[in-house]
């Protein structure tokens, strides 16, 4: 697990970053709209983009939280399909993956 410490640190840092970004997205969506109809239309279009960003952030945050739960359970770095080890290089590239390269390739 020693070789995974830096990957786990990156997961925690990314989690903190995403939580902060999500707070900003949510705050942006709570703002009031202009009274002018044309400005309101533009603001609503912008809100749609911000909502999509928020959705993407929530998905990634969920994946990271699941990975951190696997850390807590002692299952991080073990493939959920074959119970084999997931290479550190793969975890560095995709830290929230729960599948080794072979199992991930088979599922595609």
pLDDT value at 1 more than 90:
no
Q: Would the pLDDT of 64 be above 80?
A: yes
Average pLDDT over residues 65-84: 96
pLDDT digit string, tens, across residues 13-34: 999 999 999 999 988 877 766 6
* Structure confidence at residue 31 (pLDDT): 73
String of b and e for 7-46 (b: at least 16 CB within 10 Å)? bbeebeebbeebeebbeebeeeeeeeeeeeeeeeeeeeee
Residue 104 is predicted with a pLDDT of: 93
Scanning the structure block, which residue is given the tokens 């786990």? 8
């Amino acid at each position: 697990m020693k070789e995974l410490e830096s990957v786990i640190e990156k997961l925690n840092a990314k989690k903190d970053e995403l939580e902060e970004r999500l707070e900003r997205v949510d705050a942006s969506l709570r703002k009031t709209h202009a009274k002018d109809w044309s400005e309101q239309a533009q603001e609503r279009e912008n809100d749609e983009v911000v909502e999509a960003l928020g959705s993407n952030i929530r998905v990634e945050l969920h994946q990271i939280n699941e990975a951190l739960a696997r850390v807590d359970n002692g299952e991080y770095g073990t493939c959920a399909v074959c119970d084999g080890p997931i290479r550190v290089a793969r975890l560095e590239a995709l830290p929230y993956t729960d599948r080794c390269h072979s199992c991930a390739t088979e599922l595609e």
